[in-house]
Amino acid sequence: MRNPLITVMAAAALLLSACGTPAAGTDPTPSTPGGQDGAAIHFAAAASLTDVAPELTRAYAEETGDTTRIDINLGASSKLVQQANSGQQPDVLITADTQAPEALEDPTAFEPPIDLVSNTLVLAVPATSKITAADQLPEAGAVALCAPAVPCGRAANTYLDHQGFSLNTVSEEDNVRAVLTKVTAGQVDAGFVYATDVAAAGDQVRAIDLTGLDANIYPLLVATDAAEPAQDFARWLQGDAAMKLLNDAGFSAP
């Protein structure tokens, strides 16, 4: 004969399981990204900050003790602005020139930009290249540069127009790091990148200065509705500790 007590206990266990009672050894509290309030800082930055952006976020956490997670989104400035226009607005945005943010459909979504750092466009060539000056560009077989809508592409085309150079074969890339990859892989004879990119490539490439070209100013934009952790991070980016890391990476004062 079945024990009535056992039957009742089994039915109760089934009922509790159906109601979603967690199994033994599991955490009933859903995991929450970011700090104690579950928030995360969405940090979008131009591709030329690929190496230094993670260093900045680590240094910020170590110096301030802020445990808020910082999600880094790196890419061409034009793409980052397009993402903001499509509803993927970051809390903190750094573009590679002051023209990129002009394409924001809602400029009021961000506080007025602050000039953070500057970067200089250079011509990168493989370390073993025979090219020693920019005026040898017309003789080069293939040259890589960013697409015209990207800050590094705008700067490169401005330089080429001023010099009146006509290139043999042009490879247009989505962002400056794609250009650098073409150069380091030996797929092109030269590429227009930033001084910081050449520094990141080490002894794989050489930089050739481009005369008569103004440096790119990198503006820092903070969303008007950014939470306090994001605002704190943006203020820290303007401080001495962040500036040292940016200077070490090859960026200069604006």
- For the stretch 128-165, pLDDT in tens is 999 999 999 998 999 999 999 999 999 999 999 999 99
The helix (run of H) or strand (run of E) holding residue 194 is strand 190-194
State how far the Cα of 214 lies from the Cα of 210, in Å rounded to an integer: 9
One-letter amino acid at 103 equals A
Looking at residue 7, its pLDDT comes to: 39
Say yes or no to pLDDT of 206 above 50: yes
Looking at residue 131, its pLDDT comes to: 95
Structural domains present in the chain: 40-118+217-248 (3.40.190.10), 121-208 (3.40.190.10)
Say yes or no to pLDDT of 68 above 70: yes
State how far the Cα of 116 lies from the Cα of 219, in Å rounded to an integer: 5
Which residues sit opposite 103 in a β-bridge?
A: none
Looking at residue 157, its pLDDT comes to: 95
Read off the pLDDT band of 39 (50, 70, 90).
Answer: confident
Say yes or no to pLDDT of 70 above 50: yes
Say yes or no to pLDDT of 13 above 90: no
Here the tokens at position 61 are 């956490």
Q: Phi and psi dihedrals of 115, rounded to 5?
A: -65, 115
- Is 131 strand, coil or helix? coil
Contact 81, 88 (CB under 8 A): no
- Between the two ends of the chain, the Cα-to-Cα distance in Å is 87
Q: pLDDT digit string (tens) for 123-132?
A: 999 999 999 9
Here the tokens at position 194 are 């930033």
Say yes or no to pLDDT of 18 above 70: no
Check: pTM over 0.75? Answer yes or no: yes
Mean pLDDT of the chain: 87
Looking at residue 26, its pLDDT comes to: 31
C-alpha closest to that of 151 among 196, 242, 218, 86: 218
